[in-house]
Amino acid sequence: MSTMTPAVTTSYRVPLIATAAIVLGALLIGVIFGANTGLLMIVGGLLGMVLYHAAFGFTAAWRVFITERRGRGLRAQMVMLAIAVVLFFPALGAGTLFGTEVRGFVSPIGISVLFGAFLFGIGMQLGGGCASGTLFTAGGGNARMLITLVFFIIGSVIGTAHFAWWQSLPAFQPTSLIDVAGTGGGIAISLVLFAAIAAFTLVMEKRRHGQLEKVPHVEKYGVERWLTGPWPLLAGAVALALLNFATLALAGRPWGITSAFALWGAKGFELVGGDVSQWGYWQSAGNSAALEASVWSDITTVMNVGIMLGALAAAHLAGRFAPNFRIPLRSVLAAVIGGLMLGYGARLAFGCNIGAYFGGIASGSLHGWVWLVAAFAGNMLGVRIRPFFFDGVEGRKPVAKTS
């Protein structure tokens, strides 16, 4: 018994510290910058735990469908989007939610979005993750993803330098299904599209394998499973939709990630003597104000920090926090190139898999659907490029084993 005690103590110490950091950070930020901003750090922490325990990755799910025609991950994404649309559209149509003014992520559709999303898709497969995936895996102890994150930030800053030129290219005006078809019509159209995509994955999977992939069996039950994972993928889909809705209620807009990367990079660039204030991206009222204010007043920053702390706690609870710093050179190179593509592409496309895909479609924005198609095409090319950087055939993320 004595040999087991230290392991138990160690496994809970870091999660308790991470949880305390989230709660204390939320209190401090809430006092200084407003209660809603503080609460969003807690929402971020919950997002990090959900993403980690449910292993809810966009990159791996798309790669597995492209290479193996297994669609369980894609179908979970459709469930997540369906719940989000049903929750978001009535609030966005009314313009308020629980007394708070709300707006969606509705952006123009043009060359910038097409190229940016396609580039982001390639970056997903080379970098090894999307925006949410980079955050929760880095927070969960993946040393390689820290490299991807650093260059994700650098690519984001470079994207802001070129942003004005890309926005000068031809584009259609922002269009929302809510405005075009109304709240009910927009929901109906969206649900039909989600069902069509899910049905397509079912057909393709049965055609390739003859039957659907079985959900992995986990010999954990009750509190133990919810505390240490892994969680059912569908549970992750439901939780992410609900937490995005909580973000809408508290922040007045959907969950986003990558605008904070651009902000961090810009502030870092200014610390070493650079000046981004004359770049078109930073001359808009909102971005200019964020650049001049404390980084802790930025909602996206607060949530990103919460996500990493939540993932850190989850990784330790699962007993899987084991950073490996012996990274092959080709894998490092892929992380660098992929990170730059992710950052640059996200700025051009008005967001990432969270802000543009999840948040955009949940907002009824047609640009979210265009982003999905262009990014998926980028993933298809990225999958073909991966063998130049990674040995062997890499499939899905392994499910945590119990013992």
What is the residue-level pLDDT of the chain in tens, covering all 403 positions? 333 333 333 468 999 999 999 999 999 999 999 999 999 999 999 999 999 999 998 999 999 999 999 999 999 999 999 999 999 999 999 999 998 999 999 999 999 999 999 999 999 999 999 999 999 999 999 999 999 999 999 999 999 999 999 999 999 999 999 999 999 999 999 999 999 999 999 999 999 999 999 888 888 888 888 888 899 999 999 999 999 999 999 999 999 999 999 999 999 999 999 999 999 999 998 899 999 999 999 999 999 999 999 999 999 999 989 888 999 999 999 999 999 999 999 999 999 999 999 999 999 999 999 999 999 999 999 999 999 998 754 444 433 333 2
- Is residue 89 exposed (0-12), middle (13-18) or buried (19+ Cβ within 10 Å)? buried
Integer Rg of the chain from CA: 20
* pLDDT at res. 221: 81
Cβ neighbours around 381 below 10 Å, total = 13
* β-strand partners of 97: 100
* pLDDT at res. 303: 98
Q: At a CB cut-off of 8 Å and minimum separation 6, what does 94 contact?
A: none
* pLDDT at res. 216: 85
* pLDDT at res. 164: 96
* pLDDT at res. 219: 81
Return d(Cα 44, Cα 244) in angstroms, integer: 10
Residue type, 316: H
* pLDDT at res. 392: 55
Return d(Cα 85, Cα 162) in angstroms, integer: 33
Determine if the peptide bond prior to 230 is cis (ω within 30°): yes
* pLDDT at res. 402: 31
* pLDDT at res. 220: 81
Structure tokens at 276: 């981004």
pTM assigned to the model? 0.93
* pLDDT at res. 6: 38
- The torsion angles phi and psi of 132, rounded to 5 degrees, stand at -65, -40
